[in-house]
């Protein structure tokens, strides 16, 4: 069979374009709706094919020139070749498609995607992979589908300028480390106080490395510098604070802000601007009452609920990762929030305990991991909450859980795609369910 020609109709959840070859669906990466192209078939399954772009015969008007020279080779971005407005429309379509296919909703209430104010320079955390040879040091990200490191000597266009600047200062210094081949990765993260870097080290001379890194304090202009030799518990301070701080809108005053902290290695949203938008969306959708009780499942460091604590009589946060619970408690103390309790436990187990105790809540917010919350949502109705806001990072598991919530008389009334990760196929969803 000769290399077929096809037209890309839409974008799929993984980021590839979708066309048809003799009626069979064909997925082709780095294509745009409206492209007419010639492909090489690289995989054949019973109901679909995988193709590789050979020749772009007629480019789509939705295309644009990618600013990153590594795009297409680097495993980070999927859609730098797409105009940003087209990316946002595609994400709206991906969410609607998931709710139709998986949740069985004929007309899901999916709204327009909330676009990022800055599609580039937004990522406040990055893990730069390192590869050392006799001729020098390669620092960048893995090549797509491999563990080969693509060198990014000028930095990455999606990470913040401060992180790129920090890596440019750090890179030549790392070449002077005697056993630099034992440093596979450097994690760099930006907070209000500046940039913090963690050198991941798998060698046997950690004390020597810490002494060497401490000599670079003035040259690096970092807010913190650490060495990690294994799991997160092995973090060793070179200098600086082990907490990062960011700001979000205060629930009591849209023009005011509160500061939240989390420990290095803990979870936080990498797009600080869109996280602020998400916190504000959650506040609006919950429509909290001063006399009500708010329950926050998978609460992390209190990102979604602590800014709203002044709007309710009582706040309960539940999180299984102990360092995040410690951060939430510390944040509540710093904000002088006296009506909050944070528990370190499994969400489903805590729900069972709350139901058995006859506890009631007027509003619930949950922000589960990518796997969703199927073990939790079926029991939520017993808490009596009139409003439930579900924040999801995966349309497929969200659609599955939305169907489960509908079976428990929670009706999906708003589903808002939020573009937390421009130039990728990933999207965040903020959704409101009302008890019928």
Question: Could you please report the per-residue DSSP string of 24-49?
Answer: EEEEETT--TT-EEEEEEEEE-SSEE
d(CA 285, CA 165): 38
Band (256; pLDDT cuts 50, 70, 90): confident
Tokens read off for 72: 């297409």
pLDDT per position as a tens digit, 373-417:
999 999 999 999 999 999 999 999 999 999 999 999 999 999 999
Same fold? 1-63, 125-244: yes
Residue 352, Cβ density class (10 Å: 0-12 exposed, 13-18 middle, ≥19 buried):
middle
d(CA 78, CA 75): 8
- Integer Cα distance of 247 and 276 in angstroms: 8
The ranges assigned to domains in the chain are: 1-63, 125-244, 271-435
CATH class for the region spanning 271-435: alpha beta
CA distance 366 to 84: 29
- φ/ψ region of 96 (left if φ > 0, alpha if ψ in -120 to 50, else beta) reads alpha
**For the residues of 236-261, what is the DSSP string, one character each?**
EEEEE-SEEEEEEEETTEEEEEEEEE
Q: What is the pLDDT of residue 1?
A: 56
CATH number of 1-63: 2.40.50.140
- Topology (CATH level 3) of domain 125-244: OB fold (Dihydrolipoamide Acetyltransferase, E2P) (2.40.50)
Mean pLDDT of 10-30: 95
Question: Do the beta carbons of residue 323 and residue 265 sit within 8 Å?
Answer: yes
User: Could you list the active site residues?
Assistant: 393
CA distance 407 to 404: 5
**Could you tell me the pTM of the whole model?**
0.94
Nearest alpha-carbon partner for 184 in 146, 148, 220: 148
Angle subtended by helix axes 395-407 and 84-101, to nearest 10: 40
Residue-wise pLDDT tens digits, 148-193: 999 999 999 999 999 999 999 999 999 999 999 999 999 999 999 9
pLDDT of 327 strictly over 60: yes
Confidence of residue 53 (pLDDT cuts 50, 70, 90): very high
Beta strand ranges found along 78-213 (DSSP E)? 125-133, 136-142, 149-151, 185-191, 194-200
Average pLDDT (132-150) is 90
């Amino acid at each position: 069979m000769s290399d077929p020609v096809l037209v890309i109709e839409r974008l799929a959840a993984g980021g590839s374009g979708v066309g048809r070859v003799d009626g069979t669906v064909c997925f082709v990466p780095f294509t745009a709706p409206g492209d007419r192209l010639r492909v090489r078939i690289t995989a054949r399954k019973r109901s679909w094919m995988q193709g590789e772009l050979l020749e772009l015969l007629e480019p789509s008007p939705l295309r644009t020139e990618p600013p990153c020279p590594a795009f297409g080779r680097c495993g980070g971005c999927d859609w730098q070749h797409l105009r940003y407005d087209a990316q946002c429309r595609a994400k709206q379509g991906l969410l609607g498609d998931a709710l139709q296919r998986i949740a069985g909703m004929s007309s899901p209430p999916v709204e327009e995607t909330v676009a990022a104010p800055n599609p580039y320079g937004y990522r406040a955390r990055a893990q730069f992979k390192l590869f050392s040879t006799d001729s020098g040091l390669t620092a960048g990200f893995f090549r797509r589908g491999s563990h080969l490191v693509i060198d990014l000597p000028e930095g990455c266009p999606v990470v913040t300028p401060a992180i790129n600047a920090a890596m440019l200062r750090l890179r030549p210094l790392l070449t002077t480390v005697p056993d630099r081949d034992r440093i596979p990765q450097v994690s760099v993260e930006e907070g209000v106080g500046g940039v913090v870097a963690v050198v991941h080290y798998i060698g046997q001379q950690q004390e020597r490395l810490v002494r060497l890194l401490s000599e670079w304090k003035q040259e690096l202009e970092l807010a913190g510098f650490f060495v990690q030799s294994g799991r997160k518990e092995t973090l060793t301070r070179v200098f600086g604070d082990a907490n990062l701080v960011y700001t979000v809108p205060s629930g009591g005053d849209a023009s005011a802000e509160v500061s939240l902290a989390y420990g290095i290695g803990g979870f936080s949203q990498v797009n600080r601007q869109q996280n602020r938008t998400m916190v504000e969306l959650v506040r609006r959708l919950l429509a909290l009452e001063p006399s009500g009780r708010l329950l926050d499942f998978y609460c992390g460091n209190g990102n979604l609920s602590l800014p709203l604590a002044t709007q309710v009589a009582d706040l309960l946060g539940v999180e299984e990762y102990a360092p995040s619970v410690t951060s939430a408690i510390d944040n509540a103390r710093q904000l002088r929030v006296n009506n909050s309790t944070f528990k370190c436990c499994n969400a489903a187990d805590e729900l069972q305990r709350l139901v058995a105790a006859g506890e009631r809540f007027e509003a619930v917010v949950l922000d589960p991991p990518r796997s969703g919350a199927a073990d939790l949502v079926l029991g939520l109705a017993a808490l009596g909450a009139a409003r439930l806001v579900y924040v999801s990072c995966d349309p497929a598991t969200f659609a599955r859980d939305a169907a489960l919530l509908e079976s428990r008389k929670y009706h999906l009334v708003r589903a808002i795609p939020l573009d937390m990760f421009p130039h990728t196929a990933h999207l965040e969803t903020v959704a409101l369910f009302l008890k019928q």
